[in-house]
Structure 1
Amino acid sequence: MRLIFRLLMLIAVLLGLGLAVVLYYVANPKLPAWSPAQQVNYLEQWSAADRQAYYFTPQGTQVKGLRYDWFNALELPFSQKRFAAPEYLARFGFLIDPSQKATPNNPGNLPVGFARHQNPGSQDEFLDITCAACHTGELRFNGQAVRIDGGSAQHVLPSSVPTLRGGSFGQALVASLTSTYYNPWKFERFARNVLGQDYEARHQQLRQDFKVSLDTFLKVAWNDTHRGLYPTEEGPGRTDAFGRIANASFGDAISPANYRVANAPVDYPQLWDMWTFDWVQWNGSAQQPMARNIGEALGVGATLNFFDSSGQPLKGDDRYPSSVRVRDLHRIEETLQRLKPPAWPEALLGNIDKPLAAKGRELFAENCAGCHVPRVTQSDGRPVQHLKLLPVGVIGTDPGAANNIADHRFDLTALQWDPAELAQLDVQLHPTPTEPLDMSQLSVAKGLAYVTAFVGNQAYREANVTPAERPNLDGFGLPIGVQELRSYKARPLAGVWATPPFLHNGSVPSIYQLLSPQSERAPTFYKGTFEYDPKHLGYRTEAFTNGFVFDTRITGNHNSGHEFRAGERGNGVIGRLLQPEERWALLEYLKVLGGPMESQLPDRRLSQKD
């Protein structure tokens, strides 16, 4: 009996030690080191005023009720150092300028995309993470940083699913919130920092409010973990955007039966010229700018209520209150319309070989222009680029994102939508359905189209948007168009050199590898560094401490397709085999495509005649 007792005690001790180790690594994530660049260099894509407006204009996200001053007062779990210290947040991949100072728009001196807002009738300022956090990039070379406004972020933002490796901002934030609440000394310092002279009067209320926010974080972390909703680790610069928006809007807010496994992360796409595209999203499923931006805000954390306090579905003009800020979303959209593609900075990344780039221009016309140079028309003073949407069976890239969007179905009957009421919304489904919609089996794109229509209508009323203003805020008077194709769009390639890694899921680290057969592409590589390779046009992929290993053999991560190789066209083979010297020439041309140096290239036809 004594032996059994000792054995049980030993097991309990080992389990306790194991749990302690797990908790330590969950609360103390393994992050890459960070050191400041010698200088952050800004390209001539925007004015300084436009850049600041984009970086810090709020859009109505609330990050699960977390207040701005709370975030700034949080400490790390095992020290008194600030969680929101710029040099710590930079280790997750968020962008700071070492010379930046606190400003009225950024009083906490936080990274790009960390804003704040107040809801009408409330004194609380909420932490508001905006689209700039995910759609601003940076490259480093020889100690210099090159900021790519509207480019692809490389942070590790969304997941709060605990792992031993850690490295996710979401996981680390939950750990700091938990340690602050349950460690009385930490909470005492936190409360005095937040409340100042109001400490005695508001201490208890602060603790109650803080617990509500913490419980929301913990509930999401537990839900995502035990349901296994995100089995493909997203890593730097990726998220399963549609999957997360659907799980938040239809699972969290309506019914657990609507949760779906989201195993197809995608990269954050670059934003320049996006306002001219006829269809946006990787699969070309969305049309209206405002609806697209409302959907993005809902996915990042804008509040959304489908039901009243008694659990009954909201109806009529009561649909649907949210924290979305439509006038601020429109301001961001207008700012993006002035964004220029980045031009290759020769002084920082090296001189252009113009004769080689001229040869690359010919190869581009032969091999790339058919897909990546769209037909352009004019509509209401707006240039419209009609992008090609390539079926997954043709382009051959990982089909997960396109298939999930096309196949996943959700039961929205609890919302009690009236088909006649839906018909009054500014939603256009392509193709037009021939049968009534089945609300128990609605796709994510259609469901979000109607949700964003209701949310937009309510937000416009609350913002006192007049009927005359609305077409402009919607974006060129466009309807909320929806199409669901198992395809990916081929976007124009101006500035593509500044947007590694490549393909919709970020599975190819450089353009050189993208122009190569799949057999020559790296099956695994390291991500999470900003160090740039100006020869191959991609981030460097060598191993580094606490780097993220991207494995292309995992579901959602496949690096197949978009191949130039010998063989029959189709099923991922899109062109002939390009010899190495041809790939180098194409890379040299892609550095100048769409920029001021493109017009300076020599005309090879004239030189050949001579």
Structure 2
Amino acid sequence: MRLFLRLIVLLLVLLGVAVAVLVHYIKNPHVPAYQTPDEVIYLEQWDEQARQLYYYTPQGTTLKGLRYDWLVALEQPFNQNAFIAADNLGRYGLLFDPAQQPSDSNPGNLPVGLARHQDTDSGIWYVDITCAACHTGELRYQGTAVRIDGGAGMHALASTVPTLKGGSFGQALGASMALTYYNPSKFKRFAAKVLGDNSANNKAYKRLRRDFKQVLDAFSDTAINDWRRGLYPTEEGPGRTDAFGRIANTVFGDRIDAKNYHIANAPVNYPHLWDIWKFDWVQWNGSAMQPMARNIGEALGVGASLTLFSDSGQPVPINERYASSVRVHDMYAIEETLKTLKPPRWPEALFGAIDFKMASKGRALFEENCAYCHAPRPQPVDKRLAPSRDPEWKLRVVPTRIIGTDPNTADNIADHRFDVRRLGWTRGQLSDQDVRLVGDGTLGDVDLASVSSAKGLAYLTAYVEDRAYRDAGIKGADKARMDGFGLPIGVRELRGYKARPLDGIWATPPFLHNGSVPNLFQLLSPVSERDTKFHIGNLEFDPKQVGYRTEAFEGSFVLDTAISGNSNRGHEFRDGCRQGGVIGRYLSPVERWALIEYLKVLGHSDLEQQLTPVPAKPWTPGPDCDALISRQEAN
């Protein structure tokens, strides 16, 4: 009996320690302190109306059913301060302007990309995460914030997996919701804000607790599922997410069959959006063609509702199937607005004057070393995927065996397979969908018991898109226009990465598709000169190296390039054979600085006109390594 009591006491002590540790990290998450900028500078990439439309136009995502007024009313876990306060959400990388005020499109005065939409049946307003949340950047310098519209977000948003150190918006939101629900006084204050004069109504109060608990359970179930299955072993940290992996796990695992979950160990940066409407193919691996289908797939991954099966697991009647919360009119408005977005212009008054003599030399070096892959190639009308798109840029997709950068993203997209037979598709039905398989088999080769993520998403988004158009009364020429230039839902699977044009690239650190190189100077250096570990989460900009500052600071995230998915190899300039990721000759430090100076002006014709002609050496493929090895073996 005494031994039993000792064991009980020991268990209680251990439980108390665990609770104390949990409380400590909830109160003190591993995130940077928020510094309110003195001002926010906008770089005249578009007008204010376009900017606000982009920031706060909903896509139809639902964030587990979280309601807008709940988020506005929610308190922080251990105080009564608003959860949405800038000094709280700003710690997770979400963007505020200290001068912003509530508006019709942003009544809660939330950060960029947190919008709302109203459900047409219930009238409930839901929190909606827009594309602006991930595709808006900010650079800080000497107290000033430079907003990069369409740039790469540096927030820690996606992860809900519980970790002791915390550090993501998802974890913080879950903690605030849990402590609100289980703390009676906190919930009463919450209910008073949400229900107003109706908060004394016991029936309304109980209904609010029930509905709130359902959303809290949904967050908890996702966190436990992701943690238990170990789905995301490579920590993403600020500015990265395994986009394809998360979308695939959400769509194929959560919604169709738990056997479809796959390890997602390939975090990528959020790509910048200016000029993307001109690209022949989009996504890091050049796998998607149609704008509307791309946006619907992204919205499904971020949490748009989708009706496939009943609560009992049976397919719902055909007249209910594929109904979703995606908002095609709003998606089209965002896509059209993005066509007006210009690359950011280097702010000389803040970051320093451009050295045009050095930039002139850099232009010649760019033509020799970079233009072969990165220069846009406008296509004549008869060779365009979309004849009405002018210009249409054909972009190179460089195989991973050549570019040498971390292959996880491209390999996972090509290799992961999913069983979608529960959807009951037949090849006859699929042939009626506006999907074009490019370069890798035909519909007859598609195995619905083992379909790739790209193909599976293409067909699923085709059904969702058709249903959304039908519900919105859109058809014919209007549908083709809203699809984007009348394009079909093209899909291809390449083990490579797209070499996009570099206009405005200076404003999008860190670099490579997985954010594993902190600045442009290191990107132009041999791998041996690149940092193998560096700290991110600090928005402070280094205008000389051209990247975020990476020294240690309180609350930083350490990006370790030795971890799977984080490799900083490849895209290397080094003398010797062009293999193993070596794509160009060694560049001296002076040549690197010259190239960086040119990248500051690239894409702005008035700046490029100030450059002086410098002869460029022709691009060469480098030494013939196979012949060199043969000669060495012969000797």
TM-score between the two structures when normalised by the length of structure 2:
0.93
Name the CA distance, whole Å, in 2 between partners of 1:451 and 1:506: 30
The residue number in structure 1 matching 2:341 is: 339
Taking the aligned partners of 2:238 and 2:31, their CA distance within structure 1 comes to: 11
2: distance between equivalents of 1:328 and 1:587? 38
Matching residue of 1:486: 495
Cα drift, residue 34 of structure 1: 1.1
2:283 aligned residue: 281
Give deviations 1:151-209, integer Å, cap 9, x for gaps: 00000001111111111000010000111111111110000110101223321111111
1:160 aligns to what? 160
- Distance in 2 (CA, whole Å) between partners of 1:276 and 1:319 is 34
Query: Deviation at 1:437?
Result: 1.8
Partner secondary structure for residue 578 of structure 2: coil
SS state of the match for residue 218, structure 1? helix
Counterpart contact for 2:37–2:145, Cα < 8 Å:
yes
Look up the match of 2:150.
150
1:407 alignment partner in structure 2: 415
Map residues 364-443 of structure 1 onto 2, 5 A cutoff.
364-377=366-379, 378=381, 379-431=387-439, 433-434=441-442, 435-443=444-452
Say which of 522, 527, 538 aligns to 1:529.
538
Q: Which stretch of the first structure deviates more once superposed, 165-174 or 381-390?
A: 381-390
Structure 2 counterparts to residues 494-533 of structure 1, below 5 A: 494-533=503-542
Q: Is residue 540 from structure 1 mapped to residue 549 from structure 2 by the alignment?
A: yes
Q: How far apart are residue 3 of structure 1 and its match?
A: 5.8
Structure 1 residue matching 2:490: 3-state secondary structure: strand
Mapped partners of 1:571, 1:400: distance in 2? 16
d(CA) in 2 for partners of 1:451 and 1:100?
39
CA shift for structure 1 position 27: 5.6
Tell whether 2:607 aligns with 1:597.
Answer: yes
Q: Distance in 2 between matches of 1:311 and 1:145?
A: 50
Distance 1:126 1:382 in 2: 37
Tell me the equivalent position of 2:633: none
Alignment of 1:142-291 (within 5 A): 142-201=142-201, 202-291=204-293
The equivalent position to 1:307 in structure 2, one of 301, 309, 318, is: 309
> Residue 383 of structure 1 aligns to a residue in which SS?
coil
Q: Distance in 2 between matches of 1:212 and 1:5?
A: 38
Partner of 2:364: 362
In structure 2, list runs of 5 or more residues that go unmatched: 382-386, 617-635
2:454 to 423, 445, 448: 445
Q: Does structure 2 retain, via aligned residues, the 8 Å contact 1:118–1:125?
A: yes
Query: Deviation of residue 442 (structure 1)?
Result: 0.5
Q: Are the equivalent residues in 2 in contact too, given 1:26–1:163 (CA < 8 A)?
A: no
The DSSP-based 3-state class of the residue aligned with 1:175 is helix
**2:116 pairs with 1:113:** no
Please tell me whether the aligned partners of residues 27 and 172 of structure 1 are also in contact (alpha carbons under 8 angstroms).
Answer: no
Counterpart CA distance in 1 for 2:165 and 2:172 is 11
Q: Return the alpha-carbon distance in structure 2 between the equivalents of residues 215 and 147 of structure 1.
A: 36
**SS at the partner of 1:591?**
helix
Change (3 A) 1:432 1:402: closer
Contact 1:27 1:176 (C-alpha < 8 Å) held by counterparts: no
8 Å CA contact 1:516, 1:563 repeated in 2 = yes
Shift of 1:217: 0.5
More displaced, 161-170 or 303-312? 303-312
- Whether contact under 8 Å (1:453, 1:480) holds in the other structure is yes
How far 1:345 sits from its partner (Å)? 1.1
- After superposition, give the CA deviation of every residue in 1:78-128 in whole Å (9 maximum; x if it has no partner): 111111112211110011001111111111011000100011122210000
Q: What whole-Å deviation, never above 9, does each CA across 1:522-559 have from its counterpart, x for those lacking one?
A: 00000001100111110000111011111000010000
Q: 1:135 aligned to 2:144?
A: no
- 1: distance between equivalents of 2:316 and 2:3? 63
What is the match of residue 559 of structure 2? 550
SS of the equivalent of 1:145 reads: strand
CA distance in 1 between partners of 2:178 and 2:331 (Å): 32
Is contact 1:63–1:302 with CA below 8 Å preserved after alignment? yes
Contact 2:440 2:492 in 1 (8 A): no
- Aligned-partner Cα distance in 1 for 2:564–2:440: 33
TM-superposed deviation, 1:218: 0.6
2:384 corresponding residue in structure 1: none
- Whether contact under 8 Å (1:229, 1:262) holds in the other structure is yes
Name the amino acid aligned to 1:60. G
The answer (yes or no) to whether the contact 1:26–1:162 under 8 Å persists in 2 is no
**AA aligned opposite 1:503:** L
Q: Deviations over 1:424-481 (max 9, x none)?
A: 0000011263544211100000010011000001111111113220111000000000
State whether residues 509 and 515 of structure 2, in contact with CA within 8 Å, keep that contact through their aligned partners in structure 1: yes
Aligned partner of 1:494: which letter?
Answer: D
Cα distance in structure 2, aligned partners of 1:502 and 1:554 = 17
Q: Does 1:476 align with 2:478?
A: no
Moved more, 460-469 or 179-188: 460-469
1:425 partner letter: Q
- Deviation readout 1:560-600 (Å, 9 max, x if unpaired): 00000012102200000000000000000000011131111
Range that drifts further, 596-605 or 200-209: 596-605
**Structure 1 letter corresponding to 2:209:** R
Query: What displacement does 1:313 show?
Result: 2.0
Change (3 A) 1:15 1:318: closer
Sequence identity percentage? 61
Give the C-alpha shift of residue 77 in structure 1.
1.1
Following superposition, the deviation at residue 144 of structure 1 comes to 1.2
CA contact (8 A) 1:115 1:130 kept: yes
Distance in 2 between the 1:419 and 1:101 partners?
53
- Equivalent positions of 1:565-584 (< 5 A) are 565-584=574-593
Q: Please, what is the CA RMSD of the aligned residues? A: 1.4
Partner residue, 2:623: none
Letter of the structure 1 residue corresponding to residue 391 of structure 2 = P
Which consecutive segments of 4 or more residues in structure 1 shift more than 6 A? none
Instruction: Mark the CA change 1:21 to 1:402 in structure 2 (over 3 Å): closer, same or farther.
Output: same
How many residues align? The count is 606
Is 1:410–1:440's contact at 8 Å kept on the other side of the alignment? yes
* Number of the residue aligned with 2:631: none
Q: Partners in 2 of 1:405 and 1:216 — Cα distance?
A: 27
Instruction: Supply the distance in 1 between the matched residues of 2:591 and 2:321 (Cα, whole angstroms).
Output: 57
Give the structure 1 partner of residue 627 of structure 2.
none
Q: Residue 496 of structure 1 contacts residue 590 of structure 1 at CA under 8 Å; is this kept in 2?
A: yes
Residue-by-residue CA offset, 1:238-288 (whole Å, 9 max, x unaligned): 000111111111111111111111010000000000011001000000000
**Structure 2 match to 1:63:** 63
Classify the secondary structure of the residue corresponding to 2:477.
Answer: coil
TM-score using structure 1 length: 0.97
Q: Which moved more, 1:115-124 or 1:325-334?
A: 115-124
Give the whole-Å Cα distance in 1 for the aligned partners of 2:615 and 2:253: 60
Provide Cα deviations, 1:296-344, integer angstroms capped at 9, x if missing partner: 1111110112114553224655430110000000000000010000111
SS of the residue corresponding to residue 115 of structure 1 reads strand
Change (3 A) 1:507 1:362: same
Who is 1:588 aligned against? 597
Q: Is the 8 A contact 1:100 1:109 kept in 2?
A: yes
Q: Which moved more, 1:522-531 or 1:85-94?
A: 85-94
2:549 counterpart letter in structure 1: R
AA in 2 matched with 1:445: A
3-state SS of 1:600 partner:
coil
Shift of 1:29: 1.5
Counterpart CA distance in 2 for 1:152 and 1:133 is 9
Instruction: Please name the residue that 1:351 is paired with.
Output: 353
Task: For 1:318 and 1:427, locate their aligned partners in 2 and report how far apart those are by CA, in whole Å.
Answer: 22
